[in-house]
Structure 1
């Protein structure tokens, strides 16, 4: 897979996933009033499940394609960055452990020498991993463990040689969690978006639990969650493509990689800040509209229920 093919594949992979989310999203506003509240809640639940599935699916598929691309370049492993060297050494380690006695006292010097020789051979050979991109459920290369939370996302990023940005590790209150001030640990940006919100809601729904107002997110918060998830997916794509084009996977280019990361740190921080400010402003507007409705001002005249159902099914057939 050459560079152009990689770029086209990843762009298409992200595009169709976003389109699927937006197609379902566009139907939500037609069922937001009390008469169709239960149907609206069902669509919200479906959207949450869809956002998570495409979050996990995109990270896994893109990570595998990146490994496949590196493997196709026929580069010596010792010329690659440390993550690729360590990754290839895992095969030697797994082989040694599986063929050795559980009792370390019984390990033979000859076996350890063979282990060392195997690592040396792999490091001095071309980087090569057998990846079947058609096997969606394969977990031999990128394993999200069906639960792509903060810890697993960071593990995958490290294996790919990508950077965990400072903003991802910040503990600024995003406004996603009601009890943020009482949480003693795991308060980072990634934990707030992934663990405490996206996965928390997804698991609640997927396990068949009863509707909960903290798990069936209101419109603005759901949009905020969607946009923050998009931010993570977009940056993951950008990093993979930039690392591939500039060959940041080579040890010789690590200084250029650090320069790119420094530039991106500022950009990502600003993007998060803009999304947070936008969400806070939308909340103020939403509160104002609610106040207007409480004194009898009709701020948004909705079409008839029949009309909304008709348009809904028309959109699903797009």
Structure 2
């Protein structure tokens, strides 16, 4: 795993992943807009397009979110310098182990570790933290946003779009169920997904630039 050490590195990595997804979505839209193809072919493309839109939404969140974690981890901050969500990621394994023992004293060890290591470098996990669970609903997204130390408020009004139009329809298509998607409706979904990805991208980049991942 190549370290992402500078703000420029992170912004470039996120932008590269974003651009190719936009191009593919645009290409699909162009195919559907082609006036020479039949209505049946357009309906098939719209159904397939639902799965593609979801894949790009999930893929972008997973990829860019992981890039962001790589960047924060590479900055070499001490535990005391980072927001509490990153500290939680750092001690998650210790908490799980303490939970298995079912002893207060085991949790005290977790507390003592945090207190005694405030000036130690924060080495938190990066791999598999951004877990979309192959079903990126708003509940899953909210957990990911928390792990990254971002503000979920930007997605509060998008619940129906994400859960019903995007995840719900994708599940219908993936399970081979009959569901017709009108061209106009599909184009609206295209706009929504592009907007969702742009919002997530902006949150990551703003946190990087303003260093809001640091403790206040």
Measured in 2, the distance between the counterparts of 1:231 and 1:196 equals: 16
Correspondence 1:247 to 2:211: yes
Correspondence for 1:168 = 155
Residue in structure 2 matched with residue 157 of structure 1 by the alignment: 145
Q: 1:221 to 1:81 in 2, by over 3 A?
A: same
Cα distance per residue 1:163-208 (max 9 Å; x no partner): 122x633xxxxxxxxxxxxxxxxxxx32211111111111110001
Equivalent residue number for residue 197 of structure 1: 165
Q: How far apart in 1 are the matches of 2:215 and 2:50?
A: 40
Asked if 2 retains the 8 angstrom alpha-carbon contact of 1:10 and 1:62, the reply is: yes
Larger radius of gyration between Structure 1 and Structure 2: 1
8 Å Cα contact 2:32-2:42 kept in structure 1: yes
Deviations 1:264-307 (A, max 9, x none): xxxxxxxxxxxxxxxxxxxxxxxxxxxxxxxxxxxxxxxxxxxx
Structure 1 Cα separation of the partners of residues 16 and 149 of structure 2: 23
| Equivalent in 133, 139, 143 of residue 131 of structure 2 | 143
Normalised by the length of structure 1, the TM-score is 0.62
Q: What is the TM-score with the length of structure 2 in the denominator? A: 0.89
Alignment deviations for residues 115-145 of structure 1 (CA, whole Å, 9 cap, x no partner): 333333555421223445xxxxxxx311111
Q: Distance in 2 between matches of 1:58 and 1:123?
A: 33
CA contact (8 A) 2:7 2:208 kept: yes
Matched, 1:37 2:22: no
The residue aligned with 1:274 is none
Q: How far apart are 1:72 and its partner, in Å?
A: 0.3
Task: Give the total of aligned pairs.
Answer: 212
Distance 1:69 1:91 in 2: 21
What root-mean-square deviation, in Å, do the aligned CA atoms of Structure 1 and Structure 2 show? 2.0
**Structure 1 position 84, deviation (Å):** 1.5
Q: 1: distance between equivalents of 2:109 and 2:68?
A: 31
Task: Check the 8 A contact 1:31/1:37 in 2, yes or no.
Answer: no
Give structure 1 regions of 4+ aligned residues with deviation exceeding 6 angstroms: none
Pairwise CA distance, 1:32: 7.7
2:193 paired with 1:206: no
Q: Distance in 1 between matches of 2:159 and 2:29?
A: 24
* Structure with more relative contact order (C-alpha pairs < 8 Å, separation 6 or more): 2
* Other-structure match for 1:92: 94
Give the SS at the match of 1:158: helix
CA distance in 2, matches of 1:241, 1:195: 25
Q: Quick check: 1:24 aligned with 2:28?
A: yes
Structure 1 residues without counterparts, runs of 5 or longer: 133-139, 170-188, 253-318
